[in-house]
Chain A
Amino acid sequence: MADTYARSLISPAQLNRARSKIVYRIVLTAVIVIFTLVFIGPLYFLFTDGLKSTQEAIATPPTLYPHHLHPSSYVRAWNEFSLGRLLLNTLYYAFGALAFQLVFDVAAAYSLSRLRPALGNVILAMMVATLMIPAMVLIVPLYITVANLPIVHINLIGSPAAIWLPSVANGFNIYLLKRFFDSIPVELTQAAAVDGASPMRTLRSIIIPISRPILAVVSIFSLVAVWKDFLWPLLVEGGYNPPRETLNVGIWVASQTAPENMVLAASAIAAVPTVVFFLIFQRNILAGLTAGGIRG
């Protein structure tokens, strides 16, 4: 996509004129400078302000760089807010949710796409219809349900399952996976069936290897969703000691009482894993965003 040249708004002939070339250079430089300032600038302050002392962090006027380096606020933030534990919690919730989603949603989408049980279309429609219902609207009844599951009467509040299980009910996953599975040629699965492969074997040996791109998209979105969620983990995992919150919630809790430089140090530490994750997987993430369709 990057180098195969397709023309856009301004024609290549126009762009090749000497005057246009100069204008283009100026615009390009301006865009690069402005975008770097707008998007990297705040991150610069995020990482350097944590190095200031408590007094310097709230000095008027603010200093543009730490005049006296205090790397100790990073260490203090790490220890006092138990950021290590919060990070482990977040990873545990995120990868657990991912595992549950991959197992249940892939199996369900496979069943709806290939095994086609009776009433499958009704179930599919009901699953995809949940996309129309914004998550925030259901937060109260969902909380009550998780606090006391119907029939079995189990309270999931405070357990990781309170994050893992509701994450499976994701109409977007079902929609993406089912659409992808539908596009796999029927001949492949039929050939497997002729060879005596069970549905499970077909899923494992044919569907999943072909579906790697869409599984990557679903995985990335599901990890990021748990990582970025705020209100739900605050409600179901908040207020325990030792903390059970995610990083995103934990640094907010810490910000309620801690001095400004510690809050910024904690925010910077919380930002590091996601920035690294993004830099490693940026190609997949950016491609998944457009290939996988739309998600606000």
Chain B
Amino acid sequence: MADLVTLPQTPGSRPARRRTGAGGARRSSAHSLNPRLRRHLSAYGFLIGGVLCFALFSWYPMVREFIMSFQKSQLGVTSWAGLANYRRIFNDPTFWTAWRNTLEFTLLALLFGFAVPFFVAILLNELRHAKGYLRCLVYLPVMLPPASALLLFAYFYDPTYGLFNDILHTLHLPTSQWVLSPGTRWPTAAMISVVIAATWMNMGGATLIYLAALQNIPGELYEAAELDGAGLFRKIRYVTIPQTKLILSMLLMLQIIATMQMFVEAFILDGGQGVNNNTESVVYLIYQYAFAMSSASNFNAAAALGVVLLVVLGIFSGGYVWLTRTRDHLSRPRS
């Protein structure tokens, strides 16, 4: 610790002079003011910038969203609308399509984006060479501007001149329309294409977090498992997975929340809707309501949609907190 605490090296005379000068004056003024009040005031002074930003750009918009969702606005006059906005979005057939698609994306993204990084991390953790290189490789796409990566994938996905169809063609496999596939039956080729691009872009983060978790597993556990005659898969099943359970469940939750907000992937790959609305997500619908329907743009209906999404995500994270709490409670005596 001691070597961390190196105060900035300043010439010896200056700090001493300042301490007696300015410090002395401050001490005398401190006597005139109640010191506790003074302490609180200076604490609030440090806090005020952060609190103002949170209030304006986080807390207030949240309250505002709820209020807006029950209002309507016509020619600049705002009045209460009761549940009209909610009725409107529930009666919109795209609402249900968007939820179905979002759910489909979330499930597929978990299949790819949750399981693949875990096994990649296990694989990388076993290798004794080229560690730094492989880690950099996996994380590199995460650093790219998403538009660069997605425009590149849109180019690869092109049905006529794209690289992917060329590869399939060379291997004598049936080619695909990729993101432009018209199908709407689960799992749609369009959504799988979106998920592949999203996984390529984002898997680095999860992989490296898993890798760190794997390195924290005490080696004795594997040795004990070997003495008990466990093979490779049993070691994964009974040592690796239980030991990383906490981080696995946390990433699972964060990933569900992140994927349910899917927007930019489909927006850049196919304009957001896809063919027959088969990649239209809930956040894209919010965007459409608020900003894209130029004549009928409706912030209030968009806010109602936001509230619905917020409630669903809230149920997810609330459920996670509740589940992990009880599980912790139950598992503590055992481990």
Interface residues of A, Cβ cutoff 8 Å to B: 1-2, 6-11, 15, 24, 27-28, 31-32, 35-36, 38-40, 42-43, 45-46, 49, 57-62, 100, 103-105, 107-112, 115-118, 120, 123, 126-127, 130, 132-146, 149-150, 165-166, 168-169, 171, 174, 185, 188, 195-199, 203, 205-206, 209-210, 224, 227-228, 230-231, 235, 247-249, 251-252, 255, 260, 263-264, 267-268, 270-271, 274-275, 277-279, 282, 285-286, 289-290, 294-296
Contacts and interface: CB of A to CB of B under 8 A. Distances in A.
Q: Which of the listed residues A135, A139, A141 has the most CB atoms from chain B within 10 Å of its own CB?
A: A141
Interface string B186-223: 00000000000000101001001101101101010011
Interface in B33-70: 39-40, 42-47, 49-51, 53-54, 56-62, 64-65, 68
Contacts of A36: 137
8 contacts: A35-B134, A58-B161, A60-B166, A111-B44, A145-B60, A169-B53, A169-B56, A199-B42
B144 interface: yes
B19 A209 contact: no
B131 interface: yes
B61 A138 contact: yes
B264 A263 contact: no
B139 A278 contact: yes
Contact of A264 (B151, B214, B314): B151
Contacts, number: 326
Contact of A42 (B7, B50, B135, B156): B156
Nearest to A211: B4
Contact of B139 (A1, A165, A285): A285
A142 B163 CA distance: 40
Smallest CB-CB A-B distances: 7 pairs: A108-B50, A115-B43, A117-B43, A111-B46, A168-B53, A290-B212, A7-B219
Given A107-B47, A169-B57, A270 B148 contact: yes
A112 B47 contact: yes
Nearest to A60: B161
A14 B256 CA distance: 39
Nearest to B261: A136
A117 B43 CA distance: 6
B127 interface: yes
B62 A249 contact: no
A271 B53 contact: no
A104 to B, nearest CB: 4
B117 to A, nearest CB: 12
B96 interface: no
Nearest to B133: A32
Contacts of B137: 35-36, 39-40
A209 B8 contact: yes
B132 A271 contact: no
Given A111-B47, A115-B39, A296-B205, A169 B54 contact: yes
Nearest to A198: B26
B136 interface: yes
Contact of B143 (A111, A168, A275): A275
A117 B44 contact: yes
B49 A168 contact: yes
B43 A116 contact: yes
Choose among B124, B145, B223 the residue with the greatest number of A CB atoms under 10 Å from its CB. B145
Q: Which of A8, A24, A136, A268 has the most CB of B within 10 A?
A: A136
Contacts of A141: 60-62, 64-65, 68, 303, 306
Contacts of B61: 138, 141-142, 144-145
B169 interface: yes
B285 to A, nearest CB: 11
Nearest to A276: B143
Given A62-B162, A174-B50, A260-B155, 9 more contacts: A39-B138, A42-B156, A46-B152, A61-B161, A104-B49, A135-B261, A140-B303, A141-B306, A296-B202
B313 A278 contact: no
B46 A39 contact: no
Nearest to A112: B47
Contacts of A59: 161
B125 A271 contact: no
Interface hub of A235, A267, A278, A279 (most chain B Cβ within 10 A): A267
Interface of B: 1, 4-8, 19, 23, 26-27, 39-40, 42-47, 49-51, 53-54, 56-62, 64-65, 68, 122-141, 143-149, 151-153, 155-156, 158, 160-163, 166, 169, 200, 202, 205, 208-209, 211-212, 214-215, 217, 219, 222-223, 226, 232, 235-236, 240, 247, 250-251, 254-255, 257-258, 260-261, 263-264, 267-268, 283, 286-287, 290-291, 299, 302-303, 306, 309-310, 313-314, 317
A255 to B, nearest CB: 5
B306 A199 contact: no
A166 B59 CA distance: 11
A108 B56 CA distance: 15
Contact of A28 (B65, B129, B251): B129
A293 B133 CA distance: 22
A99 to B, nearest CB: 12
A9 B240 contact: yes
Contacts of A275: 140, 143-144
B139 A286 contact: yes
Contacts of A115: 39, 42-43, 46
A229 B223 CA distance: 46
Contacts of B255: 296
Contacts of B44: 111, 117
B57 A165 contact: yes
